Amino acid sequence: MRYAIVTETWPPEINGVSLTVEGLAHGLRKRGHDIGLVRPRQAHDGERVDDTLLVRGFPLPRYPGLRFGAPALRALAQHWEASTPDAVYIATEGPLGWAARRVARRLGVPIATGLHTRFDHYMRDYGFPFLEPLALRWMRRFHNAGDATLVATRELQDWLAHRHFTHPMRLARAVDGTLFHPTKRDARLRTAWGAGDGTLVAMHVGRIAAEKNLALAIEAFRAIERVRPDARFVFVGEGPLRGPLAEANPDLVFCGLQRGEDLARHFASGDLFLFPSRSETFGNVTLEAMASGVPTLAYDYGAAREHLRNGEHGIRVPDGDAAAFVTAAVRLAQDPIALRRMRHATRAAVEHLHPDQVAAEFDALLQLLALRRRDHAQRALA
């Protein structure tokens, strides 16, 4: 089969969408399919990139280093008319995604879209809550023009179905259990953080930005400090709030952006993952923490609701209950025996989320859409 994947973010950009889409593309190629990628041109790209249509990109406001793609209708039409894909996966809802949706519909190519970002929640996090309904209508219009809207959790699938999204379908997220593993724990790295064998290291991994609710993570850590005075808090990632947070909290450790093996070492060297974000569509870092053997504290939605069992892999608290989040953080910090038990259990909870299995499910879904469209076309001609 020939599949096209359209995305406005791609490695070396580091975010949940780019890494998820890269993993899906890699998995389909491993299964023997021809994959054509459509994405914005990046600074390191040459004149041509194999199996990739590059379009102009423009900076994304508030997200330095990320770009959105120009609505390259003519280039897309020429590209897909010359070699029409059997199905298209559109991973992002920017101008390039809208253009790809339009061209695919005109050519009669089945479309799966991915709902990776809760733009309605972002309106709230950036101080525009009155725009949430508008963002939801915009998302619904985009996704309902496709044949399937892929989401990572049953919770979100049901939520969308009750809000008139017509074809929500669940596709589980994968985690690389070979890369993210408890054996990557690094005593020298912990020493660099000022942590000894018995020191509790709380951590947060992700973009250091307003939508991540990081003030609550720091509040929870300050409460932990009152019962574990030697505890350390480590931030892994970059973002617009890094400077202000570091200035206001000079005792916290900021490690910057980490990739690959370095990221895996940072994850596995922590003892408690604090994840107070309320704006995630899923939260890949939750799976990465669990695969690394790190007990996790998160709100009860997304990846945590789907995969984290309360009291076994960490704690889920009611969405939006900041007081419960802080209380749970202190409770975990005061129970090192429970943390050690959870460290062994978290790994087992996500081992079944193998990238090859998820790629097989993604492949089956795209093939189903292609077969449905073919059958529909044949019946129309009969």
Distance between CA atoms of residues 323 and 321, nearest Å: 6
Task: With CA atoms as reference, report the closest residue to 276 among 327, 222, 211.
Answer: 211
Q: What's the whole-number mean pLDDT along residues 185-210?
A: 95
What pLDDT is recorded for position 13?
Answer: 86
**Is 50 exposed, middle or buried (CB count within 10 Å of its CB: 0-12, 13-18, 19+)?**
exposed
Q: In 126-259, which ranges are continuous DSSP H helix?
A: 132-144, 154-161, 187-192, 214-227, 242-248
Q: Do residue 115 and residue 155 come from a single domain?
A: yes
Same domain, 28 and 150: yes
Same domain, 195 and 98: no
* Dihedral (Cα; 233, 329, 333, 287), 10-degree rounding: -70
330 and 295 share a domain? yes
Average pLDDT of the residues in 19-42 = 95
Whole-structure pTM value: 0.82
Q: Of 203, 332, 194, nearest to 251 (Cα)? A: 194
Residues 163 and 251 in one domain: no
% the chain with pLDDT above 90: 75
List the alpha helices (DSSP H) in the chain: 16-30, 73-82, 95-107, 119-125, 132-144, 154-161, 187-192, 214-227, 242-248, 260-268, 284-291, 302-307, 322-333, 336-350, 355-381
Are 15 and 82 contained in the same domain? yes
Q: Are residues 249 and 116 in the same domain?
A: no
In Å, how far are 92, 114, 158, 205, 282 from 287, measured between CA atoms?
22, 19, 21, 12, 10
User: Which pLDDT score is estimated for 68?
Assistant: 79
The β-bridge partners of 38 are 6, 53
253 φψ region: left (φ > 0), alpha (ψ -120 to 50), beta (else): beta
Q: Are residues 102 and 195 in the same domain?
A: no
Q: Answer yes or no: do 85 and 6 share one domain.
A: yes
Counts of helices then strands in the chain (DSSP H, E): 15, 15
CATH number for the domain including 260?
3.40.50.2000
Contact yes or no for 267/292 (Cβ under 8 A): yes
Name residue 236's beta-bridge partners: 205
pLDDT at 61: 67
Residues 287 and 375 in one domain: no
User: Do 31 and 58 sit in the same domain of this protein?
Assistant: yes
Highest mean pLDDT among 41-50, 273-282, 355-364: 355-364
DSSP 274: E
Domain extent for 74: 2-174+354-381
Q: How far apart are CA 14 and CA 258, in angstroms?
A: 9
Find the helix packing angle between 284-291 and 260-268, rounded to 10°.
70
For residue 52, the surrounding DSSP H or E stretch is strand 52-55
Q: Which residue type does 156 have?
A: L
Average pLDDT over residues 317-323: 94
Residue length of the chain: 382
In the chain, the number of structural domains is: 2
Q: Is 20 exposed, middle or buried (0-12, 13-18, 19+ CB in 10 A)?
A: buried
Q: What angle do CA 301, 151, 372 make, to 5 degrees?
A: 155
In the predicted structure, residue 381 carries a pLDDT above the cut 70 = no
Mean pLDDT of 175-186: 95
Same-domain status, 293 and 188? yes
Q: Is the dihedral of CA 225, 228, 230, 231 positive or negative?
A: negative
Q: Give pLDDT, residue 340.
A: 92
Residue-wise pLDDT for 159-171, tens only, equals 999 999 999 999 9
